[in-house]
Each structure stands twice: as structure tokens, then as C-alpha cells.
Amino acid sequence: MNDSDHAVLGQEFADYLARPWEVEDPPALFRRLRNVDPVFKGPGNTWFITGFRAADEAYRHPGLSRAASARQLVRPMGLAGVDPPAVVKVVDMMMTWIIHTDDPQHARLRQLAAPHFMPKAVKAWQDRVEMLVDGLLDQLEESDSFDFLEEFAYPVPIHMILSILGVPFEDHQLLLEWVNRSSGINTVVGGTAQDIKRSAQEALVEEAEYFRRLIAQRRLAPGNDLIDALIAAEEDGDRMTQDELVGMVMLVLGAGLHTTAHLIANTMLCLLSNPDQQALVRANPGLARKAVEETLRFDPSSAGQPRVAIEDLVIAGKQICAGEQVVIVLRAANRDPERFDEPDRYLIERNEGHHLGFGTGIHMCLGNWLARLEAVTAIERAIGRLDGLQLSTERLPRSRTQSRALEKLPLRRVRAAATL
């Protein structure tokens, strides 16, 4: 490939990453880029990683920094001398989020929070998840048509996150509005970029103040929920600062909401689009776990986070210079034929080993066990109780976000005729 063709392909891929909602499923583009080079240098000194082994290596490399990436992408949300002091303060707080830090700061915060998200701790929430899912399904069983995303996939993580944190449920609409507005900085929703930025800033300030007040109340009257556990989080005499605590609660709420809802919706869509795989789950509900794992490989809701090289380093034989950005393209790496047989097919009984749907290395998703519990319980029970499910439309527009997010998932039930 000559330099001109290389530049055209790099720009085409950069355009796709900027507007992924315009392309329903681009494995051909993944293959073209990977065939040229699984570690491909695109425009603007940005590297695109589409090979599985290279992605796995990049996730684990200490020279690729999330903190440096956050300084480029998050810090401009609130700049001293440019933005209001309240905005600068909340962005200072966001820079403490574990997804925006490197070791040793990352390790310290993760050690304080991780015990509350490990499998043993998450298992204690199983009864809550099952009760919630069954209650939602009781309502859907009476309907012949419904929006699976709005009426089921979203309520599961919303109710669970608020219940686990110990946040009053009557505030859920307000919190959901703040989360949606604050995520608008990475979303194209109409209006000018400045309008979107200002709305996101205001939402972040309002949400942070809400949690500061709530945490202050809980210090005076402790309960038995996750916020109380995080207040008391201690390791070798080290406690979270107030900003770190507020930031952790905001991160748990935001990170556990959209990605889990769309994991549930994407899994249902994959099963409806592959009737043979849906039949396997209906015959053996225990396969819902494998269906969720295959969705995390085949159509993960997360787009992953970029990194910036803080030193000259080598990934899969490619020299990456300090200051260059590295984008690990999750959906492409998870479709690598060197790792997975028939990678563009949705096959729930795969045995090729782990995928990268939750990342790996030190920044592997902290809430992955909770997301799995919610998604598996939701899919297993929905498939078991809602027979005759079909898509209500052939066209399913996706939200204009970097995530794999449907705008809605309208379904109908074709019930079997009663026999005399």
C-alpha cells in the first residue's frame, strides 16, 4: 500500500470512529485495516489497534497512560481562567476518577473500592437483582408490544445502582438527567458544541453538589449501603479524600448505567437476530451467561478509552513515540480471526477464551462482575418468560454516541394460538 492509499484508509477509519452510529456493523473495514497492519498509524499521530494480541499488549503496557489521555480529553472541560470556578473544581474531581489515573494513584483508589465489586460482594446482591427483574417482567408479560430498552434494560441498572449505593429512588429522574447531560460532551445530540459543553458542565456541578450533600448526611447518619462502605473504605490507614469519594460515587453511577443497559439490549438484539442461538438459550437457560459473554465480544456497548504514550515504546513490533495517542478498537480486536474462529458470527458456545469487552490489565472494568450479574439475570429470565419475541421494526437507529447504543429496541410478542 502506498502512502496515499494508507492515508485514505486511515482517514476513513478515523471518520468511522468519530461517527460509529452511521455504520451498523463494519467488519469489512476492520478486516481491511487489520490486513494492512493490526497496529496502524492514522492521521494526527494516532495509532489504531485492531489486532487482539496487540490490543491485549497495549492494555497491559505501563507506558500507555490514561491520566495523560484525560489531561487531553477531560481537563479542557474545566480550565482555570476560562471556566467558572465551580466547573474547574468539578473537573479537578473528575481527574481523580480511577479511569483517569495511573499507578500508584490508580492502585490506591482501586484497592479502596475493589472489595465492594468482587464476585463475593456482588453475589450478595443477587436476590435484589432477581426480585427487580421478575417485577419488571411481571409488567411486560401483560403487554403485546413494548420498548425493551426503555421498559426493561434501563430500569434494571437504574434501580440496582441506586439501591446498592443507597440513593433515594425518588431522585432517579434527576440523576438520570444529570448523567445524560454530562455524557453529552462525548455525544452528538444537536446544538452547537459550546451549548453541549455548557450543559454538560452544569450537570456535572449539580450532580457533584447533590452527592456532597448526600455524603455529608450519611456521615451523620450512616446506613448499610455502598456509599457508607466507601466512606469507611480504608487500607493501611489511607482513606479517600472528599473529592475522591464524590468522584467514585459519580463514576459508579455513570459507568454502571448506560453500558449495562446497552449490554442487556445488545444481547437481546443479538439473540433475536440469530434465532438458532436464541433457541439454545430457551432450551438451556444456563447458556444466558455465555450469550452475554459472546455479546461482550461481538457487540460490546463500551467503546473503551484511548491512551497516550508517556514514553517511547513498542507494541507488536511498532515503535510508538511519547505523546502519540493509541486507540484500542475493542470491536475490531474482538473480531480478530487469529483469535476467534468465524469472528463475525454470533456463536454463544465458543471456547476460545477471554475477550476484551471489559478491557484487561490494571484498568479492567471495576464493575464487570456486577454488570455480568445484572445482564445474565435479565436475559435468562426475559428469554424464559417472554415467548414469541420479535423485532417490531427492521430499522433500529443507534444513538449518536461513541458507545454501541440503540435509541430504542421495540419488540412485539406473537403469542401461540390457544388450542381447544
Residue 326 pLDDT: 96
Of 152, 155, 121, 143, which Cα lies nearest the Cα of 381?
Answer: 152
Q: Taking Cα atoms as reference points, which of 204, 172, 171, 157 lies closest to residue 185? A: 204
Q: Which residues are registered as beta bridge partners of 313? A: 320
Render each residue's pLDDT in the chain as its tens digit; 420 residues: 677 888 899 899 888 888 888 887 788 999 999 999 999 999 888 999 999 999 999 999 999 999 999 999 899 899 999 999 999 999 999 999 999 999 999 999 999 889 889 999 999 999 999 999 999 999 999 899 999 999 999 999 999 999 989 999 999 999 999 998 887 665 443 445 788 889 989 999 999 999 999 999 999 998 888 899 888 876 557 788 889 999 999 999 988 898 999 999 999 999 999 999 999 999 999 999 999 999 999 999 887 789 999 999 999 999 999 999 999 999 999 999 999 999 999 999 998 889 999 999 999 999 999 999 999 999 999 999 999 999 998 888 888 777 788 999 999 998 776 444
Cα–Cα distance, 373 to 93 (Å, whole number):
29
335 grid coordinates: 473480531
CA 413 – CA 391 distance, rounded (Å)? 9
- Which residues contact residue 73 at a Cβ distance below 8 angstroms, ignoring those fewer than 6 apart? 306
CATH topology classification for 3-413: Cytochrome p450 (1.10.630)
The confidence score (pLDDT) of residue 5 equals 82
Contacts of 297 (CB under 8 A, 6+ apart): 334, 340, 350, 355, 356, 357
User: Can you give the pLDDT at residue 186?
Assistant: 56
> What is the pTM assigned to this prediction?
0.93
> What are the residues facing 47 on neighbouring strands?
41, 326
Give the pLDDT confidence score for residue 188 in this predicted structure.
41
Q: What is the pLDDT of residue 408?
A: 94
